[in-house]
Structure 1
Amino acid sequence: MARTIPIFAQKPVSTAGILEFKVSPPLALYVHVPWCVQKCPYCDFNSHEANGAIPERQYVDALIADLQSALPLIWGRPVVSVFFGGGTPSLLSPAAIDELLAAFRALAMLAPDAEITLEANPGTVEAEKFAGFRAAGVNRLSLGIQSFNDDHLTALGRIHGAAEAKRAAQLAGEHFESFNLDLMYGLPGQTLEQALSDVDTALSFQPSHLSCYQLTLEPNTRFAAFPPELPEGDLCADMQEAIETRLAAAGFSNYETSAFARAGKQCRHNLNYWYFGDYLGIGAGAHSKLTLHDRVLRQMRWKHPNAYLDNVQQGQPLQESREIAGSELPFEFMMNALRLADGFHPSQFEARTAQQLQRIVPQLKAAEREGLLEVGPEKIAPTLKGRRFLNVLLERFLES
């Protein structure tokens, strides 16, 4: 059996500015699949239009070689979760996913109870693959629904319609005990009633998890260059509050800024991010954060699929690698942990940063006085005001 590391069990040491981590944080594996059938106008992720068949065989071989090259950094550490993200990972065949998971089990210490999530988009061809993905070992599906309204899907540049979205959600429930539906609100021309209708439709499929987030215009996207007319800020705030109320009544906890889950169904992979755990990212443009005994590394693989494939073949999957300065760790920790409604135990800050909590006590107290933070001996957590104004709260820790 794989060894389970308690979240708060680590005892850090920081002597004369030298970091020393006695026990490594939990480790997750992220696998990026960079292709989509069509690039959405709001998307700023590392995704590229496939323009035909993707080079599946070549990419699977590259992912396995990428993992092999990273093994010296993760020797002896159990992998608690795997997340296939994109892009559109469900463009891969079930056979490819099966081969990759077999390689992960053979090369890394993949925990027997690991959460294995695969992102998918609605569509008849992909929906037919769901049984194959489940048989390959995927035990959690995340569906990019965005809306069940045809007009709004068209405005978002999605290639599926409402009927396909509903069919995919139904099939997800038939094949996966745990599945997430992604929804967006604040869409062009959307009313409060329409936003709640999307939520009610999603709930009718009995998902274990929902991600509900506001459409934002990100730089370097088509929407940024040609912005659509979006609902006013006050209406979007009303949508957010109404969605939170509706989901709370349905038994979902808003455990993270835009994440809602039934009891025990929180996304373990994402929780590891927010608790500032470690993750190894493989695939084009994938990012890693890895804790060694005396430092924390951030890495990025080559972003463009062709550049990634070429460089992996030459044994050089990394485009960038740098050590996170000790002075940066407090803010990086807070930027993740304060997204969680329940916050974190004070000892976890010390475990993840190898620094004493005393270092940020002035900032904690200032945020507490402003009503943004609750500070106690067992828990440090954002207030409702702190969650609403998270960026303001995080600014308090920029110069910790």
Structure 2
Amino acid sequence: MSATENNQDFGVYIHWPFCLSKCPYCDFNSHVRHQPPDEERFLQAFAAEIATTAARAPGRKVSTIFFGGGTPSLMKPATVGGILDTIARHWTIAPNVEVTLEANPSSVEAQRFRGYRGAGVNRVSLGVQALDDASLRELGRLHTAEDALAAVATARGIFQRYSFDLIYARPQQTPEAWAAELKRAIAEAAEHLSLYQLTIEPDTPFAALHKAGKLVTPDEDTGRALYDVTQEICAAAGLPAYEISNHARPGRECRHNLVYWRGHDYAGIGPGAHGRLTVDGARLATETDKRPEGWLMRVEANGHGITVEEELTHTERADEYLLMGLRLAEGIDLDRFKAIAGRDIDPEKIAFLREQGAVETTADGKLRVTLEGFPILDAVVADLAA
């Protein structure tokens, strides 16, 4: 591992795959079980996979830890604490480590917040999704808007840092209604909001309803107007977009997600977790068994649940850096791209996209997508990668 890689932020992602119910728009690796999982058994498996991963990637300093899901706030605080203790036994923990836990904003789960803080969590991300009850029911959420705002207030009293998610471009949503909802959300948000346009993912209940004409999402023009309203209101409130769907006060970005978008290393631990690790100079893409019970059995037999491990080629690494890095308002370092790919990005393609107003070069030489270019980000990335 080079000195540069050693100085980069290193993240650990922990996937807790269980939910109380499956939301109709969700295509994440989440599972509903009638009986609560055996947390002690899972804790032992997490510990084993962390130990195996640390043996392959020793000497790292962990700067971010993220509990994602599923619904990590269904875990007991003691389980979270046990996982954090294991990470600390196998890697060095940075003094300013960011430890985020995703949580549902229900009153039951909010009661655990103090326990999570005591276990070492210092940031929570709440899946609010909407601030009106009709939309929450339509999205399959089990909480009300009142529950959500109460959970945000609880988080505010316990954690120095918190964030919450909202979904927009919902059926029948107008720019005016979204503007009012967003302003209400910003009044509750201290430093960070994640704002996602509703997308219809294949093989979800929403996909079936959409195909049958029973779920009508805003048309392209309305979707663009909703996006523009989002940018304008957040920027005016001091929460500009630092990534296409994430807004924060300067310096209060989610550091864990920046690890992904900046192309740094992270360990993926738990059922269905993805990772990127540099081992003996090779950058590896890892995936674990998605099935919770399958993952458990693999870890208990082998010390890890990895089902896919591939060494990324220079081209794959460069494409990934483009794909992830251009999501960021800061853009990508062209010298770093050249070091990864062994070539420059075609200057004629950059010039063409600059003429179209889709990209620009910053004062420090980075290439970034403009606000006008973000709605066509996929096309920009495809053009530059070709």
- TM-score, length-normalised on structure 1? 0.90
1:271 counterpart letter in structure 2: L
Within the alignment, does 1:358 sit opposite 2:344 as a pair?
A: yes
2:217 counterpart letter in structure 1: L
Tell me how far 1:50 sits from its aligned partner. Answer: 2.8
Aligned residue number for residue 365 of structure 2: 378
Aligned residue number for residue 313 of structure 2: 325
Tell me how far 1:345 sits from its aligned partner. Answer: 2.8
Query: 1:326-362: CA deviations, max 9, x gaps?
Result: 22222111001100112133333345x2x44525445
Aligned residue number for residue 287 of structure 2: 300
What's the % identity of the aligned pairs?
A: 37
Question: For 2:59, which of 66, 73, 76 is the aligned residue?
Answer: 76
- Distance, in Å, in 1 between the alignment partners of 2:9 and 2:348 is 29
Aligned residue number for residue 396 of structure 1: 383
- Distance, in Å, in 1 between the alignment partners of 2:199 and 2:269 is 27
Within the alignment, does 1:346 sit opposite 2:329 as a pair?
A: no
- Distance, in Å, in 2 between the alignment partners of 1:197 and 1:59 is 43
Tell me how far 1:207 sits from its aligned partner. Answer: 2.5
2:42 counterpart letter in structure 1: Y
Question: For 1:45, which of 24, 28, 32 is the aligned residue?
Answer: 28
| Contact 1:44–1:218 (CA under 8 A) maintained in structure 2 | yes
Q: Which aligned pairs between 1:65-144 and structure 2 lie closer than 5 A?
A: 65-144=48-127
- Distance, in Å, in 2 between the alignment partners of 1:288 and 1:214 is 26
| Contact 2:73–2:102 (CA under 8 A) maintained in structure 1 | yes
Aligned residue number for residue 226 of structure 2: 239
Q: Which moved more, 1:67-76 or 1:368-377?
A: 368-377
Query: 1:279-316: CA deviations, max 9, x gaps?
Result: 11000000011123432110101101010011111014
Tell me how far 1:198 sits from its aligned partner. Answer: 2.3
Question: For 1:334, which of 295, 298, 322 is the aligned residue?
Answer: 322
| Contact 1:330–1:397 (CA under 8 A) maintained in structure 2 | no
- Distance, in Å, in 2 between the alignment partners of 1:50 and 1:197 is 37
| Contact 2:224–2:375 (CA under 8 A) maintained in structure 1 | no
Three-state SS of the structure 2 residue aligned to 1:226 is helix
Within the alignment, does 1:230 sit opposite 2:217 as a pair?
A: yes
| Contact 1:341–1:382 (CA under 8 A) maintained in structure 2 | yes
- Distance, in Å, in 2 between the alignment partners of 1:139 and 1:149 is 28
2:231 counterpart letter in structure 1: E
Q: Which aligned pairs between 1:241-256 and structure 2 lie closer than 5 A?
A: 241-256=228-243
| Contact 1:24–1:292 (CA under 8 A) maintained in structure 2 | no
Aligned residue number for residue 200 of structure 1: 183
Q: Which moved more, 1:104-113 or 1:254-263?
A: 104-113
| Contact 1:364–1:375 (CA under 8 A) maintained in structure 2 | no
- Distance, in Å, in 2 between the alignment partners of 1:349 and 1:398 is 11
Q: Which aligned pairs between 1:264-303 and structure 2 lie closer than 5 A?
A: 264-303=251-290
RMSD value over aligned CA atoms?
1.8
- Distance, in Å, in 1 between the alignment partners of 2:323 and 2:89 is 34
- Distance, in Å, in 2 between the alignment partners of 1:29 and 1:361 is 36
Q: Which moved more, 1:321-330 or 1:358-367?
A: 358-367
Aligned residue number for residue 157 of structure 1: 140
| Contact 2:105–2:127 (CA under 8 A) maintained in structure 1 | yes
Cα–Cα, structure 1 residues 370 and 293, in superposed 2: closer, same or farther, change >3 Å? farther
Three-state SS of the structure 2 residue aligned to 1:371 is coil
| Contact 1:331–1:397 (CA under 8 A) maintained in structure 2 | no
| Contact 1:117–1:142 (CA under 8 A) maintained in structure 2 | yes
Aligned residue number for residue 19 of structure 1: none
Three-state SS of the structure 1 residue aligned to 2:360 is strand
2:323 counterpart letter in structure 1: M
| Structure 2 unaligned regions, length at least 5 | none
Three-state SS of the structure 2 residue aligned to 1:194 is helix
Within the alignment, does 1:310 sit opposite 2:297 as a pair?
A: yes
1:387 counterpart letter in structure 2: F
Tell me how far 1:251 sits from its aligned partner. Answer: 0.9
Aligned length: 379
- Distance, in Å, in 2 between the alignment partners of 1:146 and 1:27 is 29
Question: For 1:257, which of 229, 237, 244 is the aligned residue?
Answer: 244
Three-state SS of the structure 2 residue aligned to 1:266 is coil
- Distance, in Å, in 2 between the alignment partners of 1:95 and 1:290 is 28
- Distance, in Å, in 2 between the alignment partners of 1:323 and 1:363 is 29
| Contact 1:59–1:309 (CA under 8 A) maintained in structure 2 | yes
Q: Which moved more, 1:340-349 or 1:249-258?
A: 340-349
- Distance, in Å, in 2 between the alignment partners of 1:220 and 1:90 is 26
1:347 counterpart letter in structure 2: D
| Structure 1 unaligned regions, length at least 5 | 11-21
Structure number with the bigger relative contact order (C-alpha 8 A, sep ≥ 6) is 1
Aligned residue number for residue 38 of structure 2: 55
- Distance, in Å, in 2 between the alignment partners of 1:356 and 1:24 is 22
Tell me how far 1:33 sits from its aligned partner. Answer: 0.4
- Distance, in Å, in 2 between the alignment partners of 1:96 and 1:148 is 31
